[in-house]
Amino acid sequence: ALTAQGGYKSDAISAVNYAMAMGAQISSNSWGGHSESHSLQQAIQVAMEAGHLFVSAAGNDNANADQYPFYPCVYPHVLCVAASNSEDEFTFFSNYGVQSVELVAPGQNIISTYLGVNEYTSLTGTSFGTSLVAGAAALLFSWLRGAVNTVQTVEDIRWLLLDTAQELSWTTGFVGNG
């Protein structure tokens, strides 16, 4: 299980497999690290081949993930999300990488609930942008499947998000899209 001290790759693999068994088509993954796991990569690949969109946080090390990989963000076809601030500027903490990080979403000073506290607080991290992108993907997927009645795959949704992302002047050289 994931705790404040972290978790095990076997737990991550179990979570991916559980999401697939439950029929989840999109997952928001606000966890990761710098050690590679071929077993985890294989579980994610199997999920994606079965039609699952895997959205991952880029990490909070202010590092180039192309040079210092952050997993699972850098695995092929994972939709990896960095963080911006309220002014649409890149944050001081977010990982980046033209090859590995594809989108940027708000991730600084996000008002959210906090574990163990019965109030809201301001939090920061690429996890928040990841949740926003996964939520946008789910809404788009639901709308295209339901109201518009067009059959779309989650891979189509991924490309729709990438193709319609607003490219900001500073994103060139930092992320793949916008």
CA-atom Rg of the chain in angstroms: 16
Phi-psi region of 9 (alpha: psi -120 to 50; beta: other; left: phi over 0): alpha
The answer to whether residue 32 scores a pLDDT higher than 90 is yes
Q: How far apart are the C-alpha atoms of 86 and 90, rounded to whole Å?
A: 10
Q: How far apart are the C-alpha atoms of 126 and 104, rounded to whole Å?
A: 9
Q: DSSP 3-state assignment of 156?
A: helix
Please list the residues that pair with 175 across neighbouring strands. 97
- pLDDT at res. 170: 59
Strands 117-123 and 103-106: unpaired
Question: Mind listing the pLDDT tens digit for each residue in 123-157?
Answer: 999 999 999 999 999 998 888 877 766 767 888 88
**Entry pTM:** 0.89
Nearest to 175 by CA among 51, 115, 91: 91
Domain residue extents for the chain = 9-167
Q: Calculate the CA 46 to chain-centre distance.
A: 18
- What integer is the mean pLDDT of 45-56? 94
Domain boundaries 9-167, corresponding CATH code:
3.40.50.200
Question: Mind listing the pLDDT tens digit for each residue in 77-126?
Answer: 899 999 999 988 888 999 999 899 989 999 999 998 887 777 888 899 99
Residue 121: both structure tokens together: 């607080």
